[in-house]
A and B are shown apart, each in its own frame.
Chain A
Amino acid sequence: MRKLALIASIASIALPMLGGAAMAQETVKIGYIDPLSGGGASVGEVGLKTFQFLADELNAKGGILGKKVEIVPLDNKTNPQESLIQAQKAIDGGIRYITQGNGSSVAGALSDFVTKFNDRNPGKEVLYFNYAAVDPVLTNEKCSFWHFRWDANSDIKMEALTNYIKTVPAVKNVYLINQDYSFGQSVRTQARAMLGTKRPDVKIVGDELHPLLKITDFAPYIAKIKASGADSVITGNWGQDFALLLKAAADAGLKVSWFTYYAGGTGGPTAIKQAGLNHQVFQIAEGIPNLGHASADVFEKALRAKYDFSLFYPRAVNEMRMFAAAAEKAKSLDPVKVAAALEGMEFEVFDGGKGNMRKDDHQFFQPMYIASFGERTDKEPFDEEKTGWGWKLAAKIDTPQTVLPTTCKMERP
């Protein structure tokens, strides 16, 4: 009897393993390495669901090369070291594609890790798809053949934002507040440099760096902005660092214009509405709802019907669709071949218009949009976070105007 139980227990352990191995050949696994706990969890969670939605979309059309797409969530706690552990775990589990977006500190570590891993393990290469980490060095000094970026890098975004600020004479005293790590520092340096040449009359009345995702009460910072006499704030803050910053501004009744990268992230729209900043908060992104692009509207409606959030990552849509297109073009899921197919690829992006993955540095270029958040007219059907307010287009930047030079010297295998 005991022997029987033993055999049964071994079988019960072994059978699913066999089943797993058989399944693995039928699926394309993508390791999603992003924060699912801690201060970055609110955005990490939304990202995960977005990717799962995109995987479902691909699977409904028969998957990639007939294989089912599966997103494997891996929690990195917005921590570079933890990310490497998770990446190793993913690779040990047979995953050849990883994607990550939150935190350029993490992205730098991952890009490095993947590059070294691929050098040492030819034939087992891993590709890293970056959908949101925008530190320019990733496609310049520290570029890697194994890294592809779908979000416009920080310099491109700041170039567009400052071009827009050039046309707004009301901006006179600017306050910079950013997260204290590579990305936040690059935002502040670029903002200073670009404003200096485009609007020399603008005064920088404050330049703040605060710890990343650790502040729970921004009231002291808001008091400081208020005291500085600023009329506009430029910030690259994302996740709770943006939502809480705006929440504190709402509490204190601070009325300034905000030029941001990520105002649309979880909690952001709610805080803006609370602060009563009608069309005073601007965001630069590769897409917003309310652009009136037919296929994007269909997607947006389907996403909102399934989840209680709107699409914050059109870049993730581009990433997944291009991945599928590249695999089909290469007729293979071998990462080296997929990477080769992605290089220089032209693609019709989510919100319409042509984008291309530059071969020199693996930076994706696409039309960019500056939009403000506030009351809607008939032209803006979508609101955000049930506030009744929505995004309204302020300026569109076409792909050729977003192209910046790169210093990348790509090493190809």
Chain B
Amino acid sequence: MLELIVISTLNGVLYGMLLFLMASGLTVIFSMLGVLNFAHASFYMLGAFFGFQISRWFGFWPALILAPLLAGALGAAVERYGLRHVHKNGHVAELLFTFGLAFAIEEIVQIIWGKSPVDFRVPPLLDFPAFTLFSTNYPAFKIFMLVVSIVIFIGLLVVLKRTRIGLIVQAALTHPHMVGHLGHNVGRIFMLVFGVGTALAAVAGVIAGPALVTQSNMAGLLGPILFVVVVVGGLGSLPGAFIASLLIGLVQTFAVSMNGSLAGAFGPLSPDYAATWLSDIWNVTVAQIAPIMPYLLLVLILIFRPMGLLGTRDT
């Protein structure tokens, strides 16, 4: 039992940190531009595919640096030459723009790399069990993923709290108009934030690609969860996104490891109802509904605390 708890905690934290890498960019972009960027997970996918391609040519380590830079530059370009023009037509147009962009990116990725998974391998240097815990091995690459996300998290905190640019970004989070009135180049800040946000998502892509599956539907699998993280954490709140990411990572991982069901709690259903719909509900286990847990959380949060866990503004 202890073994299961420890391993599940590790897995949950790891998944949570991956989510945070993506959600951090998304939440900052949302609060500054007021746009829920539907294409955000697509940059995660782009990161994975760029990483795959570059690691083919130059190896994994250059890919870890180059792929996010490339995806970030692309993200900045999307803001500068796309979103900024669409901005004039209001939020709905912006929303639709990112929505379309997500599909376009998926199609382009399919054209270039095909529809089936590509062979993105863990670098040999990290392909060994890091340690053995109660006879379960924990892969070194996963520890590496954890370390990278923690380093980036700390870096992000330092930049936001200790630098001038971070100060402006923070101000723009809560008072975007006031920052503009104070004479800062809001346009450039937006572009920068968009670029950095998408680059972070791409970092997540490069490190998740080899551990999970790199294929053209990976954005679609992760995208919806990101919105849950952002809403649950509170719009525009980085600490909120952090807590929500970990929470969802842990909830999903632990839900999988639980076998509880209504039948387990209240005893088996009386045979009279065995053939009815009730028996399905009665016998479904927590593990089976693990994938919908985050969405359940989303619904509950929106009902009882619409501004999210640490949010200050209403949507």
A 180-195 binary contact with B (CB < 8 Å = 1; else 0)? 1000000000000000
Do A208 and B116 touch across chains, with their CB atoms under 8 A apart?
no
Shortest CB distance B142–A (Å): 8
Is the beta-carbon distance between B4 and A224 smaller than 8 angstroms?
A: yes
B315 contacts the other chain (CB 8 A): no
- Option from B1, B142, B252, B288 in Cβ contact (under 8 Å) with A209: B288
Query: Interface stretch among A110-118, A211-219, A332-340?
Result: A211-219
Residues of B within 8 A of A227 (CB): 1, 3-4, 257
A37-B110, A214-B291, A217-B212 known; A224 vs B256 contact (CB < 8 Å): yes
The residue that A251 contacts in the complex, of B3, B110, B137, B253, with Cβ under 8 A, is B137
B132 CB within 8 Å of chain A: yes
* Chain B interface SS verdict (over half): mixed
CB of A223 within 8 A of CB of B287, answer: no
Interface assignment of B135: CB less than 8 Å from any CB of chain A: yes
Residue interface bits B108-143, CB-to-A below 8 A is 1, else 0: 001000011100000000000100100111110010
Residue B274 lies at the interface, judged by CB distance under 8 Å to chain A: no
Q: Is A54 an interface residue (CB 8 A)?
A: no
B237 interface hit (Cβ, 8 Å)? no
The answer to whether B117 touches A223, judged by C-beta atoms less than 8 angstroms apart, is no
- B160 interface residue per 8 A CB criterion: no
Q: Inside 8 A of B206's CB, which chain A residues have their CB?
A: none
In whole angstroms, how far apart are the Cα atoms of A88 and B4 in the complex? 49
Residues of chain B with a CB closer than 8 A to A138's CB: none
User: Who on chain A is nearest to B213 by CB?
Assistant: A216
Residue of A nearest to B2 (CB): A227
User: Interface readout for B236-255 with A: 1 if CB under 8 Å, 0 if not?
Assistant: 00000000000000001100
The answer to whether B213 and A253 touch across the interface, beta carbons within 8 angstroms, is no
Asked if A244 CB lies within 8 Å of chain B CBs, one says: yes
Q: Does A296 contact B (CB under 8 A)?
A: no
Instruction: State whether B7 touches A223 (Cβ < 8 A).
Output: yes
* Contact residues in B for A180 (Cβ distance below 8 Å): 288
Q: Determine whether B173 belongs to the interface, using a CB cutoff of 8 Å to chain A.
A: no
Q: Classify chain A's interface size.
A: 20 to 34
| Cβ contact within 8 Å between A223 and B8 | yes
Interchain CA distance A253-B131 in the complex, whole Å: 11
**Cα(A36)–Cα(B110), bound, Å:** 11
Residues on B with beta carbons closer than 8 Å to the beta carbon of A42: 116-117
Instruction: In the complex, identify which listed stretch (B38-46, B180-188, B194-202, B215-223) lies at the interface while the others stay far away.
Output: B215-223
Q: In this assembly, does B211 line the interface, its C-beta being within 8 Å of a C-beta of chain A? A: yes
The answer to whether A220 and B117 touch across the interface, beta carbons within 8 angstroms, is: no
What are the residues of chain B within 8 A of A39 when measuring CB–CB?
Answer: 213, 215, 217
A226 at the interface (CB under 8 A from B): yes
Q: Which residues of A contact B291 (CB under 8 A)?
A: 211, 214
Given the interface pairs A39-B217, A223-B4, A223-B8, the reply to whether A253 lies near B132 with Cβ below 8 Å is yes
Closest to B256 in A: A220
Q: Is there a chain B Cβ closer than 8 Å to A41's Cβ?
A: yes
Give the residues in chain B near A38, CB-CB below 8 Å: 115, 215, 217
Query: Are B213 and A244 in contact (CB-based, < 8 A)?
Result: yes
B132 touching A220, Cβ below 8 Å? no
Q: How far is the CA of A151 from the CA of B256 in the complex (A)?
A: 32
Bound complex: CA A45 to CA B110 (Å) = 14
Most chain-B Cβ atoms within 10 A of its Cβ — which of A36, A37, A223, A226?
A: A223
CA distance A182 to B257 in the complex (A): 23
CB of A251 within 8 A of CB of B139, answer yes
A183 to chain B, nearest CB (A): 16
List residues of chain B with CB within 8 A of the CB of A224: 4, 256-257, 287
B137–A253 CB distance below 8 A = yes
- For chain B residues 1-28, which have a beta carbon within 8 Å of chain A? 1, 3-4, 7-8, 11-12, 15
Q: For residue A189, give the distance in angstroms from its CB to the closest CB of chain B.
A: 12
Report B-chain residues with C-beta under 8 Å of the C-beta of A41: 115-117, 215
13 contacts between A and B (CB under 8 A): A36-B115, A39-B217, A208-B287, A209-B288, A211-B291, A220-B256, A220-B257, A223-B136, A226-B4, A226-B135, A251-B129, A251-B142, A253-B129
Interface residue ranges, A against B (CB under 8 Å): 36-39, 41-42, 44-45, 75, 180, 206, 208-211, 214, 216-217, 219-221, 223-224, 226-227, 240, 244, 251-254
